[in-house]
Homo-oligomer: A and B are copies of this chain.
Amino acid sequence: MQAEIISVGTELLLGQVTDTNQVYLSRQMAELGIDVFFRVTVGDNENRIVEVLKTALGRSDIVLCTGGLGPTEDDLTKQAVAQVTGRTMVENLRALEWVEAFFRHRELPMPESNRRQARFPEGASVFPNPVGTAPGAMVFHNGKTIVLLPGPPREVRPMFETYVRPELEKQLGTGRQVLVSRTLKICGLGESALEERIKDLILEQRNPTIAPLAGLGEVRLRLTAKAESTSEARALLELAAQRVYERVGSYIYGEDDQTLEETVVNLLARNGLSLGVAESCTGGLIIDRLTNVPGVSAYLERGVVVYSNRSKHELLGVPVRLIEQYGAVSRQVAEAMATGIRRTAGTDLGLGVTGIAGPTGGSPEKPVGLVYFGLAGKGGTRVFRRVFWGGRVEIKRRAALEALVLLRRYLI
């Protein structure tokens, strides 16, 4: 079985947007064991979309299209599919109900143009969009399947997972080769340091393959196994994963979609510990990441972002003379912030972070990127010093990540 991926959108051809859907769908096809031989990008032009669809239907069994399902005049993918498959466009009542419900839920009137989003080639099998207005659809034509997905990646993913993937699995039937991946997520160990520890595994392993992928402040190790069944592939993955865990297990904070903040919140829950957070240079990002985890409110009593010296004093009881003597960015102030938030919030743990995110405010002794982390618990307070690099937003991100790494290490 062969698939072809078509992205529709002039903004893509102008290079104004990076097309992450093609990568996502390519990976999904690889996991399903479906070959992808061609990917094509075309602009918002009906004739050219038709041309590309015709070529794709001539050489591929499945044609996955993203983009061009919006309510505006330059959203033309559905019309092009109708033309290529010789169908008329009709209003789909189920789709119309979904689009209307979307606006009703938001207590907004539905603009007339959004009715276009409920129009599909006759006979299309439609499915709802859990996070946006554009419903998706499949059109079955001469033994081929055309899949219509919206453009925004955050809409593509849930729709593919819920509606498209099960249908493709049904079409594949049994006896196929499957590709299954498992990702080990590593923090506190750089890419080259990691590679030195597991180089032999990376080189020797053929099935599964092991590939490191560096991200901002973390490394992902992607294990990919090929087998005749998912369970067989999973068994191969488990063996290889065990060998990696033996070498660098203490740096692996989670797998696949698990985030570092989830790990931290789970550890708080398991230990029955509450947390208060006081941030300066990270500006709320640590609290933001922690509050992305459902149920965190049972453990995170409060967070404060204390930019000013006054707020450090008023909300955390940091002595003014301490700030005057050592500076707001200092080991002493980080410690006082940690103990202060622990005391005022009445929590088991207190985290205090102070640093210089830049671009200004640095000095030879205290450069931009210098950050102190205070962690106060029952057994006392520890302070960690780090120097990060990059621009303001990057330093914030690296420092917030390091705070979570330190919290995790404390909790395990």
Task: Tell me the A residues contacting B by CB distance below 8 Å.
Answer: 10-20, 22-30, 36-45, 48, 52, 55, 70-74, 102, 105-108, 111-114, 131, 152, 154, 179, 181, 190-193, 195-196, 199, 202-203, 211-216, 222, 224, 277, 279, 282-288, 290-292, 294-297, 300-308, 310-311, 314-315, 344-346, 357-360, 387-394, 396
Partner of A315, one of B154, B192, B315, B388: B315
Q: Taking CB as reference atom, which chain B residue is nearest A113?
A: B192
Is there contact, CB below 8 Å, between B15 and A24? Answer: yes
Which residue of A284, A303, A344 has the most chain B CB atoms within 10 A of its CB atom? A284
Partner of A393, one of B18, B29, B45, B292: B292
A45 neighbours in B (Cβ, 8 Å): 37
Number of copies: 2
Is there contact, CB below 8 Å, between A191 and B284? Answer: no
Cα distance, A388 to B391, chains bound together (Å): 32
A192 neighbours in B (Cβ, 8 Å): 71-72, 111, 113-114
Is there contact, CB below 8 Å, between A26 and B39? Answer: no
A396 neighbours in B (Cβ, 8 Å): 288, 291-292
> Provided the pairs A17-B213, A392-B292 are in contact, do residues A302 and B285 lie with their beta carbons within 8 angstroms?
no
Q: Taking CB as reference atom, which chain B residue is nearest A130?
A: B390
Is there contact, CB below 8 Å, between B306 and A302? Answer: yes
Partner of A305, one of B39, B222, B304: B304
Is there contact, CB below 8 Å, between A11 and B213? Answer: yes
Is there contact, CB below 8 Å, between A308 and B303? Answer: no
Is there contact, CB below 8 Å, between A106 and B387? Answer: yes
Is there contact, CB below 8 Å, between B43 and A40? Answer: no
Given A13-B39, A15-B24, A284-B286, 6 additional A-B pairs, CB 8 A: A11-B222, A16-B27, A40-B41, A106-B389, A154-B394, A283-B292
- Identify the 8 closest CB pairs spanning chains A and B, nearest first: A283-B291, A15-B26, A284-B287, A284-B284, A15-B27, A303-B305, A302-B311, A111-B192
Q: Taking CB as reference atom, which chain B residue is nearest A59?
A: B51
Is there contact, CB below 8 Å, between A16 and B307? Answer: no
Shortest A249–chain B CB gap in Å is 20
Cα distance, A18 to B394, chains bound together (Å): 21
Cα distance, A55 to B58, chains bound together (Å): 14
Shortest A198–chain B CB gap in Å is 11
Is there contact, CB below 8 Å, between B310 and A301? Answer: yes
Cα distance, A190 to B107, chains bound together (Å): 13
Is there contact, CB below 8 Å, between A360 and B294? Answer: yes
A26 neighbours in B (Cβ, 8 Å): 12-15
Cα distance, A74 to B135, chains bound together (Å): 41
A388 neighbours in B (Cβ, 8 Å): 106
Is there contact, CB below 8 Å, between A284 and B291? Answer: yes
A292 neighbours in B (Cβ, 8 Å): 283, 392-393, 396
> Provided the pairs A191-B71, A192-B71 are in contact, do residues A288 and B285 lie with their beta carbons within 8 angstroms?
yes
Is there contact, CB below 8 Å, between A70 and B18? Answer: no
Is there contact, CB below 8 Å, between B300 and A287? Answer: no
A287 neighbours in B (Cβ, 8 Å): 283-284, 305
> Provided the pairs A15-B23, A30-B15, A191-B72 are in contact, do residues A301 and B308 lie with their beta carbons within 8 angstroms?
yes
Partner of A18, one of B18, B25, B301: B18
Cα distance, A11 to B195, chains bound together (Å): 17
Cα distance, A203 to B114, chains bound together (Å): 17
A38 neighbours in B (Cβ, 8 Å): 13, 40-42, 48, 52
A44 neighbours in B (Cβ, 8 Å): 211
> Provided the pairs A284-B288, A387-B106 are in contact, do residues A195 and B113 lie with their beta carbons within 8 angstroms?
yes
A74 neighbours in B (Cβ, 8 Å): 211
Cα distance, A205 to B214, chains bound together (Å): 44
A387 neighbours in B (Cβ, 8 Å): 105-107
